[in-house]
C-alpha cells in the first residue's frame, strides 16, 4: 500500500469526531503499511463549490462540453481517487444522510466517461476495486432498531459500487450527543472494531 487518500467531509475539520475516527483508521493502516503516504483531501466546510452548468450538461450528453470549472476539479479529485491504494472517508451524518461536502465529492468523482460508462445493461464502473474505509459520526443512533433511518451507508455502498468500489468497511461513532460516558464507550468500541478488522 503506497497511497492512502483521506477525504475529510466534516465542517469541523480536525475537531470533528469523524476525523478522530479517521485518524485511528489511518494510524492502524500505517502500522500495517509503514511506508504509505497519506494524501488529505479536505472537503468539509466551503472547500469546493457544487458542480457547475457545463459539468451537468456533460453528464447528460454524449461528450464533455468543457474542460474547465467543475470538470477541471473533477479531474483532480478523480486522479487522486484513482491513484489511491486505500481510501478513508470521514463524514458526519447530516439529516439522515451525507453532508453536502461528501455529496459534492461524490458528484465530482462519479463522472460518466471517466469513472463509469453507460451501457445497454446499465452503468459500469471503471475503477479498479480497492479498500475504502468509511468513518462516520452521528449525534444519535441510526439504522435498524433505532429511531433514525440510515440514508447514508446504503447510498454510499450503492454509488461507490457503481464506479467499481465494492470493498467497503464502515465504522461508526454513534450517539455523540448522548453525553461524555456514552461517547467514550462509543469511541472505544469503534477503535477496537478498526483494529480487529485490520487484524491488529
Ligand atoms: C446540519 C446537521 C444535521 C445533523 N443531522 C443529524 C442526523 O440526522 N442524525 C444524527 O444522528 N445526527 C445529526 N447531526 C449531528 C452530527 O451527526 C453529530 O454532531 C456528529 O457527531 C458530527 O460529526 P463530526 O464531528 O464528524 O462533524 C447533525 C448535525 C448537523 C450540523
Q: What confidence tens digit (pLDDT) does each residue in 60-104 have?
A: 999 999 999 999 999 999 999 999 999 999 999 999 999 999 999
Confidence of residue 188 (pLDDT cuts 50, 70, 90): very high
Residue 51 clears pLDDT 90, i.e. is over it: yes
Mean pLDDT, rounded, for 136-143 = 98
Cα 181 to Cα 96: distance, rounded to the nearest angstrom: 24
Query: 74 CA to middle of ligand 1, Å?
Result: 27
Mean pLDDT, rounded, for 29-39 = 97
Query: 55 CA to middle of ligand 1, Å?
Result: 29
Cβ of 93: how many Cβ atoms within 10 Å?
A: 23
Query: 130 CA to middle of ligand 1, Å?
Result: 28
Query: 19 CA to middle of ligand 1, Å?
Result: 13
The x, y and z cell numbers of residue 43, run together, are 472537503
- pLDDT given at position 41: 97
What is this structure's pTM?
A: 0.98
Residue 143 clears pLDDT 90, i.e. is over it: yes
Query: 179 CA to middle of ligand 1, Å?
Result: 14
Convert the pLDDT of each residue in 145-158 to its tens digit.
999 999 999 999 99
Q: Which residues line ligand 1 (CB under 6 A)?
A: 10, 12, 16-18, 92-96, 137-140, 142, 148, 176
Residue 46 clears pLDDT 90, i.e. is over it: no
Pocket test for ligand 1, best of 93, 149, 175, 184 (most atoms within 8 A of CB): 93
H or E element that contains 3: strand 3-8
Confidence of residue 47 (pLDDT cuts 50, 70, 90): confident
Cα 108 to Cα 58: distance, rounded to the nearest angstrom: 12
- pLDDT given at position 32: 97
For ligand 1, atom 23, name the residue with the nearest CA. Answer: 92
H or E element that contains 104: helix 100-109
The DSSP secondary-structure symbol of 51 reads P
Percent of the chain with pLDDT over 70: 100
- pLDDT given at position 124: 98
Amino acid at each position: 500500500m503506497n497511497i492512502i487518500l483521506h477525504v475529510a467531509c466534516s465542517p469541523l475539520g480536525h475537531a470533528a469526531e469523524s476525523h478522530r475516527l479517521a485518524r485511528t483508521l489511518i494510524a492502524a493502516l500505517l502500522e500495517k503499511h509503514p511506508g504509505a503516504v497519506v494524501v488529505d483531501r479536505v472537503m468539509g466546510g466551503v472547500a469546493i463549490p457544487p458542480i457547475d452548468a457545463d459539468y451537468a450538461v456533460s453528464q447528460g450528453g454524449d461528450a464533455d462540453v468543457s474542460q474547465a470549472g467543475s470538470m477541471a476539479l473533477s479531474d483532480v479529485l478523480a486522479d487522486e481517487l484513482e491513484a489511491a491504494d486505500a481510501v478513508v472517508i470521514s463524514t458526519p451524518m447530516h439529516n439522515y444522510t451525507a453532508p453536502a461536502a461528501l455529496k459534492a465529492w461524490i458528484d465530482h468523482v462519479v463522472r460518466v466517461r471517466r469513472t463509469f460508462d453507460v451501457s445497454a445493461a446499465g452503468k459500469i464502473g471503471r475503477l479498479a476495486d480497492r479498500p475504502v474505509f468509511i468513518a462516520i459520526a452521528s449525534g444519535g443512533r441510526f439504522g435498524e432498531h433505532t429511531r433514525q433511518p440510515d440514508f447514508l451507508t446504503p447510498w454510499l455502498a450503492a454509488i461507490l459500487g457503481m464506479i467499481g468500489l465494492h470493498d467497503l468497511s464502515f465504522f461508526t461513532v454513534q450517539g455523540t450527543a448522548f453525553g461524555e460516558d456514552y461517547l467514550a464507550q462509543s469511541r472505544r468500541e469503534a477503535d477496537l472494531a478498526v483494529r480487529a478488522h485490520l487484524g491488529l
